[in-house]
Amino acid sequence: MRFLGGNRPATDLTYADVFMVPNHSTVGSRLEVDLTTPDRVGTTIPVVVANMTAISGRRMAETIARRGGLAVLPQDIPVDVVTEVVSWVHARHPVYDTAITLSPTSTVGEALSLMTKRAHGIVVVVEDGVPVGVVTDGACQGVDRFSQLGQVMAEHPLTIPAGTDLPKVFDVLSGERVSAAPVVEGDRLVGVITRKGALRSTLYTPAVNATGQLLASAAVGINGDVAGKASALLAAGVDVLVVDTAHGHQEKAVEAVRAVRAVAGTTPVVAGNVVTAEGTRELVEAGADVVKVGVGPGAMCTTRMMTGVGRPQFSAVEECAAEARRLGRHVWADGGVRHPRDVALALAAGAANVMVGSWFAGTYESAGDIHDDGGRLYKESFGMASARAVKARTAAQSGFERARAGLFEEGISSSRMYLDPARPGVEDLVDGIVAGVRSSCTYAGARTIDELHERAVVGVQSAAGYEEGRPLPTSW
């Protein structure tokens, strides 16, 4: 990456401060771009879901890995639960979405409450593992919530035999005017496929481990028996370990990384967070394969307002990525991503992968429950250093210790993240990110993430320059 006109600004910058100019390009199509990440964690798109309780759970992990990304389970989740979630994610189908299933005697109320857990929009009614009907949201409207699904379901549903050619699936579903259908092996249900899902599966490559299972990752904190917890997570089968703390450039964090490295073998170890070359170097020397960059850019984060500490994210990523690359390692840009452009700019700055939290909170697949605010659907999100999260994390401590820890909050305890009715699923947001980044690459003349970093020419803009780039939904 170089600055336009060779003018490196004296001030640190964040994503909104910068733009990329197009280069002469020989990349003729956005489909020629390969977004496999150079960090060797196995992701085929540069999207990692942040380890936040309100966001990253089993459905998020499954859905994002199927499209080539990775979700990190938060450090607060007990090991036995992580173990169960990881084996569940590993057992998911790499192409077909997991079906929501109920029986003919289940109620419409149950179907409606489960329908928003996934974006595919159907409940499959099963008897002995065999689909006998399909229920859509439309079929549940205007009927008593206690009605049984056997009375409202569409019987003898269209089913797709597993292994059917994906363009054919798209054509069959389009021809039958249905958006989703159960997938069967023989007569037994193995999943669900949508029209969009068939399309996406031709564009995305699932992120899988050496045995072909969807990738799963989990975080470990820096307190307590770090090596013991890391070993338990490895025994649970996690494919990527993340050492997670606010201040990664502290002795305790460095020791935690050493402890994790000692037990991790060949499993990639990611550690953070830092914002300087020195912090990056110390974590790499302690054994991190990837260093996580970002102090204070997160949407739920109050650190900069509380402490004055942090660094504008574009410059933080640029400096840390340069140091990591010099040492043969990589960085993940963590926090502050609100638009596809931010992902592209993080990669241009040298990040190998980009962590997204709050933006994904407002989706069907995030971990929280859905709420209705006068017809607008939303989910609650909260920071991992908020009083709410600290309370949960310190549950085993004495009341005094918990109350004292609660005084050191550096995050928002409650925020509403509204679902975009046009893009309610996390895959809709990923489509936007991937389309944006592929396009950035062709503008820069890059076929890969490394080439985007090498070729990017970045300028600094005024607030008016940024504003000019925003679309205008209504007139002036």
Ligand X SMILES: NC(=O)C1=CN([C@@H]2O[C@H](COP(=O)(O)OP(=O)(O)OC[C@H]3O[C@@H](n4cnc5c(N)ncnc54)[C@H](OP(=O)(O)O)[C@@H]3O)[C@@H](O)[C@H]2O)C=CC1
Binding site for ligand LQESDW3C (CB under 6 A): 50, 52, 273, 294, 296, 298-301, 303, 334-337, 355-359, 383-386, 410-411
Question: Does the annotation list 301 as a binding residue?
Answer: yes
Residue 37 assigned ligand-binding role:
no
Q: What are phi and psi of 427, to 5 degrees?
A: -65, -30
Query: Going by C-beta distance under 8 Å and a sequence separation of 6 or more, which residues neighbour residue 163?
Result: none
Q: Catalytic annotation on 320?
A: no
**Residues 172, 187: Cα–Cα separation, whole Å:** 18
Say whether 295 counts as a known binding-site residue: yes
Judged by CB under 5 A, the residue of 301, 387, 430, 433 near K ion is 301
In whole angstroms, the minimum distance from the beta carbon of 54 to K ion comes to 16
Closest CB 333 distance from ligand X, rounded Å: 11
Minimum Å gap between C-beta 301 and K ion is 4
CA distance 8 to 14: 14
The residue type found at 42 is G
Cβ nearer to ligand LQESDW3C, comparing 134 with 256: 256
Q: Is 328 annotated as a binding residue?
A: no
In angstroms, the Cα distances linking 136 to 121, 127, 230, 406 are 6, 18, 42, 44
Q: Which is nearer to ligand LQESDW3C, 397 or 408 (CB)?
A: 408
Residue with tokens 């409450």: 113
Closest residue by Cα to residue 462 from 21, 23, 22, 19: 19
Q: Which stretch binds K ion (CB under 5 A): 217-225, 294-302, 373-381, 438-446?
A: 294-302
Amino acid, single-letter form, for residue 409: E
246 marked as part of a ligand binding site: yes
Could you say which of ligand LQESDW3C, K ion, ligand X, none residue 357 binds, taking C-beta under 5 to 8 angstroms by partner kind? ligand LQESDW3C
Minimum distance from residue 236 beta carbon to K ion (Å): 32
At 134, is the secondary structure helix, strand, or coil? strand
Residue 143 labeled ligand binder: no
Between 319 and 410, name the residue whose CB sits nearer to ligand X: 410
Binding partner selected for residue 221 from ligand X, K ion, ligand LQESDW3C, none, CB under the kind-specific 5 to 8 Å limit: ligand X
Which residue, 181 or 384, is less far from ligand X as judged by CB? 384
Q: What CA–CA distance (Å, rounded) separates 214 from 297?
A: 29
Please provide the distance, in angstroms rounded to a whole number, between the alpha carbons at the two ends of the chain: 36
DSSP string, 144-209: -TTSBHHHHSEES---EETT--HHHHHHHHHHTT-SEEEEEETTEEEEEEEHHHHHHHHH----B-
Residue 153 or residue 275: which is nearer to ligand LQESDW3C going by CB? 275
Q: How far is CA 13 from CA 46, 287, 346, 349, in A?
A: 21, 29, 12, 11
- What is the total count of residues that contact K ion (CB under 5 A)? 1
Q: Side chain identity at 83, as an amino acid letter?
A: T
d(CA 191, CA 183): 5
Q: List the interface residues with ligand X, window 259-288 (CB under 6 A).
A: 273
Binding-site residues for NAD(+), in ranges, read 244-246, 294-296
In the complex, the residues that contact ligand X under the rule CB under 6 A are 221-223, 244-247, 250, 252, 273, 294-296, 298, 301, 303, 335, 384-385, 408, 410
In the complex, the residues that contact K ion under the rule CB under 5 A are 301
Where in the sequence numbering do the catalytic residues fall? 301
